[in-house]
């Protein structure tokens, strides 16, 4: 479990650092008893280490951690930006350069990257809003709220992935629930291999773009699929193929 301790300084109006850290540490004391691994994050350094030293960046927070875990060293002496240090059993701390949150107002970033949103993760913001990815700190893609319904009732499966250009996609593990239209959208020729996947209450698992004739090959293996309203794979192309192996399908009685 990660705690972004730099969020205290990033939140306007934050004044009680000791109280904030006290609440976090109270939780950590109980969590480590159950073998939960804790990572404290301080991602607020500048690129200039001399400036960091001049600003005494994070010293107050580090002093609280040093007292809590009875450390006989200053954390700055051990930690390396971009890496981390173990400060107790199952408890780690890492510092890194300041993290820039994505924003609709920020300049467009055309760099290549990959996001695991709704494939292997989702995120819950502090107000209970469920978003596909933890980078959506402003809750732009609002899937629901855990204070209003349980997480399992929130739609976290719709359009989890779209194949936009020809290629092969391998999906191992993951789950999708309440994707009322489809989970995977295929807009170009290619292959999609799905393994060890769980889906429930969905319209379609794989949907080839309607009216297209390019070839799509789908394999579904060792998965658990239930309550499909339309089809596991839907296509209008006579050249597309699907193969299902070692997979259980079930449907609740109406």
* Predicted pLDDT of residue 26: 96
* Predicted pLDDT of residue 54: 45
Cα 88 to Cα 69: distance, rounded to the nearest angstrom: 7
pTM equals 0.49
Residue ranges per domain, the chain? 2-97, 157-248
Give me the tens of pLDDT residue by residue for the chain, a chain 254 residues long: 889 888 887 777 778 888 999 999 999 999 999 999 999 988 877 655 555 554 566 888 889 999 999 999 888 788 776 778 899 999 999 877 776 777 777 777 777 666 666 666 778 888 888 887 777 878 877 778 889 888 767 766 666 678 888 999 998 887 888 777 888 999 999 999 999 999 998 999 999 999 999 999 999 999 999 999 999 999 999 999 999 999 999 998 66
* 233 and 218 Cβ atoms separated by less than 8 Å: yes
* Predicted pLDDT of residue 159: 65
- The pair phi, psi for residue 135, each rounded to 5°, is -75, -15
Going by their DSSP bridges, the two strands 91-97 and 84-88 should be labelled as: antiparallel
Placement of tokens 């969905």 in the chain: 202
Going by their DSSP bridges, the two strands 198-208 and 175-177 should be labelled as: parallel
* Predicted pLDDT of residue 158: 61
* 152 and 201 Cβ atoms separated by less than 8 Å: no
Cα 184 to Cα 193: distance, rounded to the nearest angstrom: 11
* Predicted pLDDT of residue 130: 86
Q: Order the strands of the 241-245 sheet from edge to edge.
A: 167-172, 190-195, 216-221, 241-245
Task: Give pLDDT tens digits for 175-218.
Answer: 888 777 888 999 999 999 999 999 998 999 999 999 999 999 99
* Predicted pLDDT of residue 242: 96
What is the fold of 157-248? Answer: Pectate Lyase C-like (2.160.20)
* 172 and 133 Cβ atoms separated by less than 8 Å: no
Is 13 in a helix, a strand, or coil? Answer: coil
């Amino acid at each position: 479990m990660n705690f972004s301790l730099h969020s205290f300084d990033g939140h306007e109006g934050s004044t009680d650092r000791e109280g904030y850290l006290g609440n976090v540490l109270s939780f950590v004391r109980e969590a480590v008893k159950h073998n939960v691994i804790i990572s404290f994050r301080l991602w607020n350094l500048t690129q200039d280490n001399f400036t960091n030293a001049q600003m005494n960046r994070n010293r107050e927070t580090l002093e609280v951690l040093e007292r809590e875990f009875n450390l006989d060293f200053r954390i700055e002496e051990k930690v390396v930006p971009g890496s981390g240090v173990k400060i107790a059993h199952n408890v780690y701390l890492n510092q890194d350069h300041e993290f820039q949150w994505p924003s609709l107002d920020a300049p467009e970033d055309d760099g290549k990257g990959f996001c695991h949103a709704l494939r292997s993760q989702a995120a819950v913001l502090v107000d209970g809003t469920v978003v596909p990815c933890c980078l959506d700190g402003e809750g732009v893609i609002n899937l629901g709220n855990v204070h209003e319904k349980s997480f399992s009732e929130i739609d976290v499966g719709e359009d989890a992935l779209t194949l936009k250009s020809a290629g092969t996609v391998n999906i191992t593990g993951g789950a999708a629930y309440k994707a009322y239209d489809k989970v995977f959208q295929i807009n170009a020729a290619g292959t999609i291999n799905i393994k060890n996947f769980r889906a429930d209450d969905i319209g379609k698992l794989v949907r080839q773009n309607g009216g297209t004739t390019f070839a799509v090959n789908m394999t579904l293996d060792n998965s658990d699929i239930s309550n499909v309203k339309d089809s596991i794979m839907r296509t209008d192309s006579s050249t597309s193929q699907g193969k299902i192996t070692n997979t259980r399908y079930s449907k609740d009685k109406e």
